[in-house]
Amino acid sequence: MSQNVSVLVVCLGNICRSPIGEAVLKHVAKERGLDITVDSAGTSNYHIGEDPDDRSVAVCKKNKVPIKHSARQVQQADFRTFTHILAADEANLRNLNRMKPRDATAEVRLWGSYLDGEAIPDPYYGGMNGFENVFEQCVKLSNAFLDDVFGTSTQGVE
Ligand code: 4NP
């Protein structure tokens, strides 16, 4: 079953929140023994081709979570390719719903809707603290998402 779950994590620039979200969700799924596909993208074209922000790389490195991504913009085909598209905040969700094609098959939701309904705040113009908070939020949201899709029985691996 897990082979059929594919997730696209989406934010605005695809250099701060969603590459961290992609890295963390991959890591948590692997710890649980779940084989899922995870990618990330941005609603904007601002940073296409760029590596993740240095602060995103730093927080992942500190927590020993591998991060590797080249920024890209969301494509219409993503709505047919992925089973789940997870938006970091409400503005991202609105933009996704605007670009969603008629034949979309992906479930498009605020990632926070799997836990507490909270958005992941944009850390771009702040300090390292914001990136630490994004990382911790992504760990909680990854667990909440995987609990919802696979059930809590897959928990328990440190
Ligand atoms: P992200 O953060 O959406 O989490 O990747 C941002 C990155 C870049 C910009 C805004 C937010 N920007 O305006 O360039």
pLDDT tens-digit profile of 113-128? 999 999 999 999 999 9
Please check whether residue 99 lies inside any domain of the structure. Answer: yes
Distance of CA 29 from the midpoint of ligand 1 (Å): 26
- Is 60 labeled as catalytic in the residue annotation? no
5 touches 36 (CB < 8 A) = yes
Pocket lined around ligand 1, Cβ cut-off 6 Å: 11-17, 46, 122, 124
Phi-psi region of 49 (alpha: psi -120 to 50; beta: other; left: phi over 0): left
- Indicate the top mutation candidate among 9, 20, 45, 46 to test ligand 1's pocket, ranked by most ligand atoms within 8 A of CB: 46
| CATH label of the domain that carries residue 127 | 3.40.50.2300
Mean pLDDT taken over the chain = 96
CA 13 – ligand 1 centroid, Å? 4
Report the separation in Å between the CA atom of 144 and the middle of ligand 1, taken as the mean of its atom positions.
Answer: 24
pLDDT number for residue 152: 83
- Quick one: average pLDDT of 65-72? 98
**Tokens matching residue 113:** 């809707």
Q: Tell me how far apart the alpha carbons of residues 95 and 108 are, in angstroms, rounded to a whole number.
A: 11
In a domain, 48, yes or no: yes
In this predicted structure, the answer to whether residue 138 has a pLDDT above a threshold of 50 is yes
The share of the chain scoring above pLDDT 90, in percent, equals 94
16, 53, 122, 138: the catalytic one is 122
Q: pLDDT at position 47, please?
A: 98
Residue 44 CA, ligand 1 centroid: distance in Å: 9
Is position 10 within any domain? yes
Please say if 17 is a catalytic residue.
Answer: yes
Give the 3-state secondary structure of residue 134. helix
Burial tier of 125 (Cβ tally within 10 Å: 0-12, 13-18, 19+): exposed
Task: Please check the confidence at residue 155 and state whether its pLDDT lies above 80.
Answer: no
In a domain, 155, yes or no: no
Q: Considering only CA atoms, which residue is closest to atom 13 of ligand 1?
A: 13
Confidence of residue 2 (pLDDT cuts 50, 70, 90): low
- Residue 134: inside a domain, yes or no? yes
**117-143: average pLDDT:** 98
Catalytic site includes residue 16 = no
Name the band, by pLDDT with cuts 50, 70 and 90, for residue 3.
low
Domain that holds residue 83: 6-150
Q: What atom in ligand 1 is closest to the CA of residue 18?
A: 4
Over the stretch 70-94, which tens digit does the pLDDT of each residue have? 999 999 999 999 999 999 999 999 9
How many residues are present in the chain? 158
Confidence of residue 158 (pLDDT cuts 50, 70, 90): very low
Q: Would 158 be classed as within a structural domain?
A: no
Number of domains in the chain: 1
